[in-house]
Amino acid sequence: MTDRLEWTLSGFGDEIDADPAIQVAVLQALGASAIEVRSAWGVNIVDLDEDQLAGLHRIFAERGQTVSAIASPIGKVDVALPVEHEVARLSRAIAAAHALGTTNIRMFSFFRQDSQSPEDIRDDVLVRMRALADLAEREGVTLLHENEKEIYGDVPSRVLDIVESVGSSALRLAWDNANYVQCGVKPFTDAWQMLAEHTDYLQVKDARFADDVVVPAGEGDGELLETVTAFRDRGYTGYASLEPHLTDTSSLGGFSGPAAFGRAGRALRTLTDQIGVTLR
Q: Is residue 46 within 8 Å of residue 96, measured between CB atoms?
A: yes
Q: Is residue 142 within 8 Å of residue 174, measured between CB atoms?
A: no
pTM (two decimals):
0.95
Percentage of the residues of the chain whose pLDDT score is greater than 90:
92
Tens digits of residue pLDDT in 167-226: 999 999 999 999 999 999 999 999 999 999 999 999 999 999 999 999 999 999 999 999
Assess whether pLDDT exceeds 70 at residue 132: yes
Q: Where are the chain's structural domains?
A: 6-279
- Per-residue confidence band for 1, with pLDDT thresholds at 50, 70 and 90: very low
Tens digits of residue pLDDT in 143-154: 999 999 999 999
Q: Is residue 12 within 8 Å of residue 45, measured between CB atoms?
A: no
Question: Nearest-CA neighbor of 36 among 58, 69, 7, 60?
Answer: 69
CATH class of 6-279: alpha beta
Tens digits of residue pLDDT in 35-76: 999 999 999 999 999 999 999 999 999 999 999 999 999 999
